[in-house]
Amino acid sequence: MKLIKFFDKLEDKIRANLSHRPWLYALIGSIGIILLWRGIWMIADSLEISGLISAILGVAILSLIGLFISFFIGDQIIISGIKEEKRIDEKTEKEIKKESISLNHIKSDLEEIKNKIDKIRKI
């Protein structure tokens, strides 16, 4: 349990640092994905699983656990396409902070409206 907590905290720190360096983050992430993919590929080869069976099993597994569409397309891309806005990775840090400030203002306004409604209900 302590080991899991250690790696969880380590992952949080690394992710926080890399989030400010998207190119480096993408490079390290792609290396990890490719190495994982290569290892699984080699295991499938040693078990002599055919390409068709691999593809069918892969799609089935990803579909059953809900990752097929979200991995290859992603919710954010679908939502940004519907709203005709930039993807999160295309936005600058300044744009993201501006959106965050706007959301905080909206939250504040909603809280104020809620308080006014509560006062009216008490009357």
Written as six digits, the tokens of 62 are 């990803």
The pLDDT assigned to 12 comes to 85
Please list the rounded mean pLDDT of every run of 10 residues in the chain (123 residues): 86 86 90 93 93 91 82 68 64 74 86 89 82
Instruction: Say which residues have a Cβ less than 8 Å from residue 95's Cβ, sequence separation at least 6.
Output: 86
Give the pTM: 0.49
Single-letter amino acid, residue 83: K
Are 77 and 87 in contact by the 8 Å Cβ rule? The answer is yes
- The sign of the torsion formed by the CA atoms of 73, 61, 65, 36 equals negative
Count of other CB atoms within 10 angstroms of residue 30? 10
Spatial distance between the Cα atoms of 94 and 107, rounded to a whole number of angstroms: 20
Instruction: Say which residues have a Cβ less than 8 Å from residue 68's Cβ, sequence separation at least 6.
Output: 59, 62
